[in-house]
Amino acid sequence: MYVKLLAYRIAYNVLRTTRIIRVKKASPSVKIFTFKDKLCARAKPGQFLMLWIPGVDEIPLSILSAEENGEVSVAVKRVGEATGVLHNMSAGEVLGVRGPFGNSFSIRKGRALMVGGGTGIAPLMFLARKLVASDVNVTFLVGAKTKDELLFFDDLCELCGSANVLAVTEDGSYGAKGLVTEPLKKLLSSEKFNIIYTCGPEQMMFKVFCLAEEYGVDLEASLERLMRCAVGICGSCVIGRYRVCRDGPVFSARQLREVKDEFGFWKRDFDGKKIPLE
């Protein structure tokens, strides 16, 4: 058993080549890429993979879906050189993949409240499918700057029921106007939930964490940090005493309390220096 486990751990860190099967536009700045990989198809909600764009760079990405037929999907926002090149790629082109890495969200019974922003909605979408399949009642708050950038809203309504999904846009172009944390406070003051799951911009997650603490609701948050090795060696993803790639990316409320002076305020650059979150 130990030999098999060791072989798997070695295998998931080996770069494998694959080909893009499908590319779908999810918003003006986000595309969904689907490819096949047997190891990443075993991933659990919250885990991530490293995607290599040949001749450019390797980037960490949350997993949107992992299917029994070996298909894996990731949602990619165009933000820099690597993602820009990837956005110009099409079905049939070659990519490299390592993973899956990190831990995963826990599956809790009862009522779950999800709070997602931007591409942070992707791993929560993966989790929501698992929760619904386990007969967990899911309420989902979906946040974006504009209607055009609102991801997976129709899919979530179909999955969770439209009455259980609330859209919030900063400019008011769709759903409620403002920040996703505003309706969150109203929900927590009027309804009972067993756990909150959150992923998105870190300042948003910090506010979600503070509200969860105020109302006594357990929480799990998926953090994003600069990741280069994905196996805990380089230290670029450190927050407090934790390595996000190995100890996370999913962190409990207890762990976040330990790093509350850094969580929501600081990150590290390529040299390992602490810099303010934007």
Residue of higher predicted confidence among 83 and 10: 83
pLDDT of residue 9: 64
Domain that holds residue 254: 111-276
Q: Is residue 106 part of a domain?
A: no
The domain spanning residue 244 has which CATH number? 3.40.50.80
Q: In 98-116, which positions are buried (b, 16+ CB within 10 angstroms) versus exposed (e)?
A: bbbbbbbbeebeeebbbbb
Instruction: Kindly state whether residues 148 and 68 are assigned to the same domain.
Output: no
Secondary structure (3-state) at 87: helix
Q: Encoding tokens for residue 172?
A: 């008011």
Q: 82-129 pLDDT, tens per residue?
A: 999 999 999 999 999 999 999 999 999 999 999 999 999 999 999 999
Q: How far is residue 190's CA from residue 268's CA, in Å, rounded to a whole number?
A: 38
Q: Is residue 260 part of a domain?
A: yes
Q: Encoding tokens for residue 165?
A: 């999904």
Instruction: Kindly state whether residues 128 and 224 are assigned to the same domain.
Output: yes
Q: Encoding tokens for residue 63?
A: 């997993």
Q: 206-238 pLDDT, tens per residue?
A: 999 999 999 999 999 999 887 778 777 777 788
Instruction: Kindly state whether residues 145 and 227 are assigned to the same domain.
Output: yes
Instruction: Kindly state whether residues 132 and 55 are assigned to the same domain.
Output: no
Q: Rounded to two decimals, what is the model's pTM?
A: 0.93
**DSSP H helical ranges for the chain:** 2-12, 81-87, 121-133, 153-160, 181-190, 202-215, 244-247, 253-258
pLDDT of residue 138: 97
Q: Is the peptide bond before 249 cis (omega within 30 degrees of 0)?
A: yes
Using CA atoms, how far residue 234 sits from 122, 207, 238, 244, in Å, is 26, 29, 9, 11
Q: What is the mean pLDDT of the chain?
A: 92
pLDDT of residue 233: 72
Q: Write the single-letter amino acid at 101.
A: F
Instruction: Kindly state whether residues 47 and 153 are assigned to the same domain.
Output: no
Among residues 65, 100, 135, the one where a domain terminates is: 100
Among residues 100, 121, 137, the one where a domain terminates is: 100
**pLDDT > 70 fraction of the chain, expressed in percent and rounded:** 96
Q: 33-71 pLDDT, tens per residue?
A: 999 999 999 999 999 999 999 999 999 999 999 999 999
Instruction: Kindly state whether residues 124 and 63 are assigned to the same domain.
Output: no
Secondary structure (3-state) at 140: strand
Among residues 100, 132, 167, the one where a domain terminates is: 100
pLDDT of residue 4: 47
Asked whether the beta carbons of 226 and 268 are under 8 A apart, the reply is: yes
| Among the listed residues 56, 125, 48, 103, the one whose alpha carbon sits nearest the alpha carbon of residue 84 | 56
Residue of higher predicted confidence among 134 and 10: 134
**Pairs from 205-210 (Cβ < 8 Å, separation ≥ 24):** 205/115, 205/264, 206/263, 206/264, 206/265, 207/179, 207/181, 207/264, 208/115, 208/181, 208/184, 209/253, 209/256, 209/263, 209/264
Q: Helices 153-160 & 121-133, crossing angle to 10 degrees?
A: 20
Instruction: Kindly state whether residues 120 and 239 are assigned to the same domain.
Output: yes
Instruction: Kindly state whether residues 43 and 149 are assigned to the same domain.
Output: no
State yes or no: pLDDT of 273 exceeds 60: yes
The total of structural domains in the chain comes to 2
Q: 157-189 pLDDT, tens per residue?
A: 999 999 999 999 999 999 999 999 999 999 999
| Among the listed residues 119, 123, 125, the one whose alpha carbon sits nearest the alpha carbon of residue 140 | 125
The domain spanning residue 94 has which CATH number? 2.40.30.10
Q: Is residue 148 part of a domain?
A: yes
Instruction: Kindly state whether residues 188 and 231 are assigned to the same domain.
Output: yes
Q: Encoding tokens for residue 7?
A: 């072989």
